[in-house]
Amino acid sequence: MDEYTEKLRNLIQLSDRMTIFTGAGISTESGIPDFRSPNGIWSKLQPIQFQDFIDSAEMRAEAWRRKIIIDKDMQKALPNRGHRAVAHLVDSGKCQTVITQNIDGLHQDSGIPDQNVVELHGNGTYASCLQCSLRHELEPIFEAFNRDNTLPVCRHCGGIVKTATVSFGQAMPEEAMRLSERSTLSCDLFIVLGSSLVVFPAAAFPQIAKQNGAKLVIVNREATDQDRIADLVVHQEIGQVLGDATGVD
């Protein structure tokens, strides 16, 4: 075990109330591409702004085309060693809250109860109506779209249906923000796993935790702007580092 992993293990052992904050980097070892690594999603596509999705049927069609492609990776993805190590920390009672920017549902699939996962950017495993919030399953939407490019509308109110994720320009989910702030302010250790920390307001939480007196750890392949305020920075693969630090295979 290298010195960084040893330091991480010690910080975990000293912590009573840990909050874990994850980004796309924890899911790359499950086969889901991240956004800002050299071959990440935003190296090939431009994000679709929320207002454009609302205003233009063509942008909605483009969004569903992308969703069907990305969903192929997501459908077959399984939790990896990093997810299992996070689940172990929740199961042990050391970690009360996992704040995730990810929409893949892999933290829940690893066995973490829903009430311990806060999905800051929503969830991509289902869709919902933007007017009345009614949940819509993806399967029939994909079938209709693949058949004749049918765009989904709400079966209850006729409103626009969108995957239950938060797009650029869309309001953040209030309850998720409230729960994230509460767990950020109540933890003694805040661990960032696999995020470039460039998208706000999510990326403010590590700073808030540090300013509030928590120890801050960042485990990320590449450097982030917040490395300079962290107590420990580990530029290595999450699965190996966190697996070794927690003794999880």
Among 36, 66, 182, 210, binds ligand APR (CB under 6 A): 36
Of 32, 68, 62, which is closest to residue 47 (Cα–Cα)? Answer: 62
Between residues 154 and 226, which has the closer beta carbon with respect to ligand APR?
226
* Site track 106-145 with ligand APR (rule: CB under 6 A), x = hit: ---------------x------------------------
Between residues 154 and 179, which has the closer beta carbon with respect to ligand APR?
179
Whose structure tokens read 């009430």?
Answer: 115
28 binds ligand APR (CB under 6 A): yes
Structural contact between residues 200 and 121, judged by C-beta atoms closer than 8 angstroms? no
What phi and psi values does residue 194 have, to the nearest 5 degrees?
70, 50
Among 5, 15, 30, 101, binds ligand APR (CB under 6 A): 101
* Structure tokens, 182: 């509460």
Kindly state the smallest distance separating residue 156's Cβ from ligand APR, in Å: 27
Structural contact between residues 210 and 190, judged by C-beta atoms closer than 8 angstroms? yes
Among 199, 208, 229, 232, binds ligand APR (CB under 6 A): 199
Kindly state the smallest distance separating residue 121's Cβ from ligand APR, in Å: 4
Among 237, 242, 243, 246, binds ligand APR (CB under 6 A): 237
37 binds ligand APR (CB under 6 A): yes
Of 146, 123, 143, 147, which is closest to residue 135 (Cα–Cα)? Answer: 123
29 binds ligand APR (CB under 6 A): yes
Stretch that binds ligand APR, among 18-26, 90-98, 130-138, 143-151 (CB under 6 A): 18-26
CA atoms within 13 A on the CB side of 51: 1
Stretch that binds ligand APR, among 62-70, 85-93, 188-196, 225-233 (CB under 6 A): 188-196
Among 11, 32, 34, 89, binds ligand APR (CB under 6 A): 34
Query: What is the phi-psi region of residue 228: left when phi exceeds 0, alpha when psi lies from -120 to 50, beta otherwise?
Result: alpha
Between residues 28 and 125, which has the closer beta carbon with respect to ligand APR?
28
Catalytic amino acids?
A: 121
Kindly state the smallest distance separating residue 25's Cβ from ligand APR, in Å: 2
d(CA 88, CA 95): 9
d(CA 147, CA 140): 10
Whose structure tokens read 């090939």?
Answer: 44
d(CA 203, CA 183): 14
Whose structure tokens read 């569903």?
Answer: 64
Residues 6+ apart with CB under 8 A from 40: 24, 33, 34
Among positions 207-226, residues that touch ligand APR (CB under 6 A) are: 220-222
Interface residues with ligand APR (CB under 6 A) are 23-25, 28-29, 34-37, 40, 101, 121, 194-196, 199, 220-222, 237-238
